[in-house]
Structure 1
Amino acid sequence: MSEATARGSMGRRRFLGAAAGAGVAATTVGAVAWGRLTGETTGTVLASRGEPAPQFAVELPIPPTARPTSRKNGVDHFDVEQREASVEIIPGRKTTIWGYDGIFPGPTFTGRTGHKAVVRVLNSLPVPTSTHLHGGVTPPDSDGYPTDLVVPTKLCGQKLRGGSPGMSGHAMSGHAMHAPASDWHLSPGSKAYEYPLDQRAATLWYHDHRMDFSAPQVWRGLAGFFLVHDDEEERLPLPRGEKDVPLLLCDRSFEADGDFRYPAKDPTCTGEPGVHADYMDGVLGDVQLVNGAPWPVLDVAATRYRFRLLNGSNARRYRLALEPGPRQGVPFTQVGSDGGLLGRPQGLQDIPVSPGERYDVVVDFSGYPVGTEVTLVNTLGKDRMRQVMRFRVVRRERDDTHVPTRLSSTAGALDPSDAVHVRQFDFRRTGSEGAQAMWTVNGRPFSTSEVLAEPRLGTVERWRFTSDFHHPVHLHLAHFQVLTRDGKPPRAADAGWKDTVDVRPYEVVEVLARFAGHRGRYMLHCHNLEHEDMAMMANFRVV
């Protein structure tokens, strides 16, 4: 029995009630099964073909910063083109990507709190797309809803499988995808996404969110950073300029000729969606990329650096550490989370990062002698996938930065008594082998016409997430604070405002979510992209 099949079989041995906790689960399944279910990874490795990619052979690339094409009435206007390109990722080989402006990751957009940005996305790809600003407090018509599509001009007027351009519904699991004709919003050729940026300074990112095909289209390169700044952040004496470094971590697999390898049922992304059965739990690559480069190297001074860590993988989880660690102090000083600065910094020995999460950390290299090589490792990875990237301490410099004891006055904690409603969402694989197996929320596959919650604008609610496997749960629009894990205080790494939280196998995670900014229809879903594509999404409507 394959590892993927074993995991699926164990998932079908039980169905716990939505309120069931880890203790009940442990008595429900056998010891061996429980050991697997509480493992640190969910997914199946897809082996690359050809010669393995070299490690620590290329410099870390930094994505270029997008420049506004115009500024009108205080609004920054950007233009970006989604297009196919041939780039060198593995040295000596060419990879065909789908990228924003033909690069992977896409250009880094920057904006200021309260300063509106409009990003016009031109789709020159052979498939529809939908761009989601992950972590953005965004109007619903600019949120990147899965059926709100930018259709390439050459596909306009065509009807592919399922009756909508390039969309076929969740046919691969044998269940109907209920999306009435009125729910398909098609923009021919391009769409202008409006981002008010009425939110705190934070590390956001943007990526494709097309119904049924988010996983293969993000795998091909449709992702990038969007950084929001404000006066409070800029007054802090944190590292800046070339020492404020975005790091997009993801894994990929490659064909022998250098192209991406992915187990799609239809590699063209125009017909049947989904992956082959062995990869239903999630696709794990065997080449580690940082900013689109395999196991890169960054030369650093013996000073402090700020790293904006983003897990842009489809399914891989990380627990990041430094080897060797510093002789004194902690390896990482966390200054920010998904939703911006923490109130106060905190030291972390390691950093657990599930897909979609971001950690803003400061690393002090001053304790390392010049000539030291420091490796960022993933202690959840094995063999070559244990290494992520390498820092080479090459010089000494004066450092006038420091991490103050107080970071933000706008990071106040919510109180459980603020919650006006308690809701529960169970993330679980349901059904049996083959056509009936699917990933669901509250036992139901996603339907565009079904709404599971209607929080009121300006209120706080207590949402409880339960799970079977690892499910990184992401809320659109709403930011939240983690309240409990299995009735106990959250982990140190759960600190701050978040939009994505890692829910571990048979775990109960409670969050206090604040619904502010806009009324309308939004989503919560698993950010394991294979789970998302196979129906693990749900709607909520802010009223």
Structure 2
Amino acid sequence: MSVSRRQFLALGGLGVIGAAGALALPLSTVGASSASRLSDRDMPRPYQTAFSQAPLLQPYQTGIDPADGAPVNSYLVTAMAASAAILPRLRTPILSYNGTFPGPTIKVERGTKAVLRMRNQLPAKHPIDDHLLSISTHLHGSASLPQFDGYASDVSQQGFRKDYKYPNFQAARTLWYHDHAVHNTALNVYAGLAAQYHIHDPQERQLLPQGAFDVAMTVSDAIFAANGTLAYDDREQSGLWGDVMLVNGKPWPVMKVQRRIYRFRILNACISRSLRPMLSTGDAVTIVATDGGLMPKAQSVVSWRHASAERYEVLIDFRKYAVGKRIELRNLSNENNRDFDNTNKIMAFDVVGAPVDTSDPTWNTIPTTLAASEVMSLTQAQSTKTRRWRVKRDDVTNVWRIGETAAAGTWAGVVASGFRNVIANPELGATEIWEFENSSGGWFHPIHTHLVDFQILSRNGRAPFPYEVGPKDVVYVGEGETVRLLMKFGPHRGKYMVHCHNLPHEDHDMMVQFSVGLADGAVDANDPINAAKPTWDDGL
């Protein structure tokens, strides 16, 4: 039975029992200070849970690529139903990678290729709206070939698997892998199909904290039904804003920290909510890396605007705080969010007196000069073309789109064209300026461009914010804002997506594609649907 997403829906019966009927409740019951239906004793309280990180996934096989002699790590991930201990007394059914939320973190060295075998062992249907639980895995931030990029319509059905091949030639950076199934990305990611992926290299290892002091933080928000299941309300397909903030799947956790410098890889995995983090002390933090890796120079900021899917690597110096001091990471929020009683809090840090290893030079070093990446070295003079689009909601159809026409500006238009329609066709190696204007009114749009990193040239004609002056693949386009981006297209030929990372917008239907280095009518050797099809999963 199909249930309207305009209602408040409980994600029930996900576990081993399979899909159950979704619970529909009227929106009018949602209070101003909370959204969940949990009883007082089941509602989590800030700073009652210990911080923990996702498990680290080890390769099940290592080898050498005979084509070029590069090392190759092979990983096995199963998309499956599971349950999570998020609430004080209740278990929450989730969709997961390998049974955890977030899924397991993958770490590789630059130059080591990876093969990620993704198995779809999910229930047949999603319990919210009965859509078939097909999946498409996107390694967000990777310069992957189109057939391994998680193209939305390249899906693996239940019982099938696909081997995704990742080159990992890019400089050190924080990536993440998440579901990208056509028109169902929001529901699938919200239910738990998300995880971090880190590329390391010698420069980053020398400059920044490693090991226990290199901390992955996946931030998300959620709404809960009275029985502890996740609930879903995308407010007329405009976005979902939960009242419970989660870090690595735990509500408002507390982390014990030594009196030294820590590095935090902060991923906003909320499907709609943007963040504006700051420390409760008012002290500045140091941002050293953006989506695409190290910035040219470190930036000291008190707070920053952080949209869905953006990654910021942040140094926090705990040396100045006394043992026993608690520092909160708070959330000031931004325009066009919906906030609740405790969405102004993210997590807390308690300073402990454990001895610090002072032989590690990163314990008390905050670097200033970092790395000059290729994209940050581009100049406007190298651009051969400027392209402009408006991002908005169609006043007649209520469909989100990029550009002026539904045929080219929505994924429905792409599908109707037989996957031929593109909004741009840059040549391989070309440098262009892309401009996005937000005229939607009442919403912000995190725009994500697959394949390439970009440099933010300007925001409303002014310089970008200091924390944005690094290689990016997602740009926050606020209400009434126009951003100009500079990017070089490559290293692959083929078709790639551009979309809003407010995932209900993407699903309805704010996603398009561009092609790189493909002439009209040319045979596409990297066809994203047909070049590497899923196969029946018969085990390893």
For Structure 1 versus Structure 2, the TM-score category normalised by the shorter chain is: 0.7 to 0.9
Q: Which residue of 2 aligns with 1:440?
A: 401
Aligned pair partner of 1:86 in 83, 88, 94: 83
Letter in 1 for 2:398: A
Q: Which residue of 1 aligns with 2:285?
A: 332
Q: Which residue of 2 aligns with 1:129?
A: 135
Q: Tell whether the 8 Å contact from 1:202 to 1:229 is kept in structure 2 after alignment.
A: yes
Question: Partner of 1:105: helix, strand, or coil?
Answer: coil
Residue 396 of structure 1 and its aligned partner are, at CA, apart by 5.2
Shifted more, 473-482 versus 84-93: the winner is 84-93
Instruction: Give the distance between the partners of 2:305 and 2:354, measured in 1 at CA.
Output: 30
Q: Which residue of 2 aligns with 1:428?
A: 392
Letter in 2 for 1:501: V
Asked if residue 260 in structure 1 is aligned to residue 213 in structure 2, the reply is: no
Aligned pair partner of 1:112 in 92, 109, 113: 109
Instruction: Give the distance between the partners of 1:75 and 1:478, measured in 2 at CA.
Output: 23
Q: Deviations over 1:385-424 (max 9, x none)?
A: 1011010011153343212232224364321011111111
Asked if residue 501 in structure 1 is aligned to residue 478 in structure 2, the reply is: no
Letter in 1 for 2:400: W
Instruction: Give the distance between the partners of 2:354 and 2:319, measured in 1 at CA.
Output: 8
Q: Tell whether the 8 Å contact from 1:46 to 1:283 is kept in structure 2 after alignment.
A: no
The normalised TM-score by structure 1 is 0.80
Is the alpha carbon distance of 1:75 and 1:137 closer, same or farther for their aligned partners in structure 2, counting shifts above 3 Å? same
The CA RMSD over aligned residues, in Å, is 1.6
Question: Partner of 2:87: helix, strand, or coil?
Answer: coil
Instruction: Give the distance between the partners of 2:236 and 2:267, measured in 1 at CA.
Output: 23
Is the alpha carbon distance of 1:316 and 1:251 closer, same or farther for their aligned partners in structure 2, counting shifts above 3 Å? same
Q: Which residue of 1 aligns with 2:35?
A: 47
Q: Tell whether the 8 Å contact from 1:46 to 1:262 is kept in structure 2 after alignment.
A: no
Q: Which residue of 1 aligns with 2:238?
A: 281
Asked if residue 147 in structure 1 is aligned to residue 118 in structure 2, the reply is: no
Q: Which residue of 2 aligns with 1:316?
A: 273
Residue 235 of structure 1 and its aligned partner are, at CA, apart by 2.2
Q: Tell whether the 8 Å contact from 1:370 to 1:396 is kept in structure 2 after alignment.
A: no
Q: Tell whether the 8 Å contact from 1:46 to 1:284 is kept in structure 2 after alignment.
A: no
Q: Which residue of 1 aligns with 2:371?
A: 408
Letter in 1 for 2:494: G
Asked if residue 484 in structure 1 is aligned to residue 458 in structure 2, the reply is: yes
Q: Which residue of 2 aligns with 1:214?
A: 185
Q: Which residue of 2 aligns with 1:103?
A: 100
The normalised TM-score by structure 2 is 0.80
Letter in 2 for 1:91: P
Instruction: Give the distance between the partners of 2:498 and 2:167, measured in 1 at CA.
Output: 21
Letter in 1 for 2:383: A
Instruction: Give the distance between the partners of 1:421 and 1:45, measured in 2 at CA.
Output: 48
Residue 426 of structure 1 and its aligned partner are, at CA, apart by 1.3
Q: Tell whether the 8 Å contact from 1:201 to 1:227 is kept in structure 2 after alignment.
A: yes
Is the alpha carbon distance of 1:261 and 1:45 closer, same or farther for their aligned partners in structure 2, counting shifts above 3 Å? farther
Q: Which residue of 2 aligns with 1:202?
A: 173
Asked if residue 518 in structure 1 is aligned to residue 492 in structure 2, the reply is: yes
Aligned pair partner of 1:293 in 238, 241, 250: 250
Aligned pair partner of 1:235 in 199, 206, 218: 206
Unaligned runs of 5+ in 2: 1-5, 7-31, 65-70, 124-132, 334-338, 518-540
Question: Partner of 1:351: helix, strand, or coil?
Answer: coil
Letter in 1 for 2:274: R
The alignment covers a number of residue pairs equal to 445
Letter in 2 for 1:429: R
Question: Partner of 2:491: helix, strand, or coil?
Answer: coil
Shifted more, 353-362 versus 407-416: the winner is 407-416
Asked if residue 383 in structure 1 is aligned to residue 345 in structure 2, the reply is: no
Instruction: Give the distance between the partners of 2:344 and 2:152, measured in 1 at CA.
Output: 34
Asked if residue 456 in structure 1 is aligned to residue 427 in structure 2, the reply is: yes
Instruction: Give the distance between the partners of 2:480 and 2:33, measured in 1 at CA.
Output: 23
Residue 46 of structure 1 and its aligned partner are, at CA, apart by 7.7
Q: Tell whether the 8 Å contact from 1:48 to 1:255 is kept in structure 2 after alignment.
A: yes
Instruction: Give the distance between the partners of 1:519 and 1:323, measured in 2 at CA.
Output: 47
Residue 470 of structure 1 and its aligned partner are, at CA, apart by 0.5
Unaligned runs of 5+ in 1: 6-43, 154-188, 264-274
Q: Tell whether the 8 Å contact from 1:112 to 1:230 is kept in structure 2 after alignment.
A: yes
Identity %: 38
Is the alpha carbon distance of 1:288 and 1:198 closer, same or farther for their aligned partners in structure 2, counting shifts above 3 Å? same
Question: Partner of 1:385: helix, strand, or coil?
Answer: coil
Q: Which residue of 2 aligns with 1:362?
A: 315
Q: Deviations over 1:130-181 (max 9, x none)?
A: 010111100000000111011112xxxxxxxxxxxxxxxxxxxxxxxxxxxx
Instruction: Give the distance between the partners of 1:131 and 1:457, measured in 2 at CA.
Output: 25
> Which one scores higher on RCO, CA 8 angstroms, separation ≥ 6?
1
Instruction: Give the distance between the partners of 1:404 and 1:318, measured in 2 at CA.
Output: 25
Asked if residue 535 in structure 1 is aligned to residue 509 in structure 2, the reply is: yes
Q: Tell whether the 8 Å contact from 1:522 to 1:539 is kept in structure 2 after alignment.
A: yes
Residue 460 of structure 1 and its aligned partner are, at CA, apart by 1.1
Asked if residue 419 in structure 1 is aligned to residue 390 in structure 2, the reply is: no
Q: Which residue of 2 aligns with 1:158?
A: none
Q: Deviations over 1:96-151 (max 9, x none)?
A: 01000011000001112222100000110021000101111000000001110111
Q: Which residue of 1 aligns with 2:54?
A: 63
Instruction: Give the distance between the partners of 1:337 and 1:305, measured in 2 at CA.
Output: 16
Instruction: Give the distance between the partners of 1:46 and 1:259, measured in 2 at CA.
Output: 16
Q: Tell whether the 8 Å contact from 1:110 to 1:227 is kept in structure 2 after alignment.
A: yes
Instruction: Give the distance between the partners of 1:124 and 1:415, measured in 2 at CA.
Output: 47
Instruction: Give the distance between the partners of 2:199 and 2:428, measured in 1 at CA.
Output: 23
Aligned pair partner of 2:437 in 460, 463, 466: 466
Question: Partner of 1:437: helix, strand, or coil?
Answer: coil
Instruction: Give the distance between the partners of 2:321 and 2:202, measured in 1 at CA.
Output: 33
